[in-house]
Homo-oligomer: A and B are copies of this chain.
Amino acid sequence: LTFHVQISLEICSVAFASQSLGPIVRAIDPWPPRRRNELLNGRRRACLAKVASLVCVRKGDGIFHEGDFADAIYSVKSGVVTTYVPSANGGRHIVSFLYPGDILGLSEAGRYTNSAKATTGVVAYRFPLAALRGLLSEDADLDSCFIIKLCDELRQAQRHALILAEGRAVSKLAMFLGLQQSLQATRGGTDSEICLPMDRTAIADFVGLSLPAVSRGFAVLTARHIISFPDRRRVKIVDRTGFELLTRVDDRNNHRPAD
C-alpha cells in the first residue's frame, strides 16, 4: 500500500469517528493542569457544528486566497492544509502546515492575510464569521477555547521563526522534523517515525532553503546515520542523541560530525 491510500483510510476513520460530534479543536494548554488535547466538550461541538458547513477539497486545490474577503474561518477535520504567501516570481513562503483540529483563516481588516490549499484531500468545517461571533459573544468558555488555540498557533509560529533563523541547513531540517514529530505526537502518532505529507519543495519553502539544499541536508543526515528513510515520505530517527544535538538552538558548530 502506498502512503496515499493509508492517508485516505485515515480520513475515513477520523471522519467516521467525529461525524456526529462536530468539530475538534486541539491545542496544548498554556496553563497548568487542564485538558491537554481536545478542547471542546460534546455540547459545544454540536453547537459549533450547527453554524458550520462541511467543505471537501481535492488535493492541490485552493481553499481561499490572500486578499480575498474573509467571511469565514475553517477548522480542519481531516487531511493536511498548507497556508502560504505567494511571491512575485512564482515562489512562495509557507506559513504553516495544518492538521486535524487546527484552525485557519487569519485575516486583517476583513481580508485573508495568506492563501490556503489542500496538500492532501481535505475535509474542513467552515464557520461563517457572523455566526461564529454570535456564539463567541454568548459563551465565554468558547472564547477561552479560541484563546488557548491561538496561543498554541502563536507558539508554533515562534518555533517556525526559530527554524528559519537557524544558520545551518542540517539543523533547520532536524528542527523541522522535530516540529512535525511533536505535532504528530499530540495527535497520537508514534515517537520514532515521522510522516511527511508534503513534498520536498514544500519543506524547502517552509524552512527557508532551496530544494537542492533540502535534498542534500537529508542526504547528510542519512549518511551520518541520524535519520533513515524507509520511504520518501517517512522518516525514522535512528540516532536520537545526535538528532537532539542538532535541534538545539544555534551553536553554529553542530554541523560537524560529533566525535
Contact = CB atoms under 8 A, between A and B. Distances in A.
Interface residues of A, number: 53
A89 B252 contact: yes
Number of identical monomers bound together in the oligomeric complex: 2
A160 B89 CA distance: 21
B107 A30 contact: yes
A91 B154 CA distance: 23
Given A140-B139, A158-B114, A251 B89 contact: yes
Interface of A: 28-33, 70, 85-89, 91, 93, 95, 106-110, 113-114, 129, 133, 136-141, 143-144, 146-147, 150-151, 153-155, 157-158, 160-162, 164-165, 208, 248-253
29 contacts: A28-B109, A29-B109, A30-B110, A32-B109, A32-B110, A86-B249, A87-B248, A87-B251, A88-B248, A88-B251, A89-B250, A91-B250, A93-B250, A95-B161, A106-B151, A106-B154, A106-B158, A107-B151, A108-B155, A114-B158, A136-B143, A137-B140, A140-B143, A143-B144, A154-B154, A160-B161, A164-B164, A164-B165, A165-B208
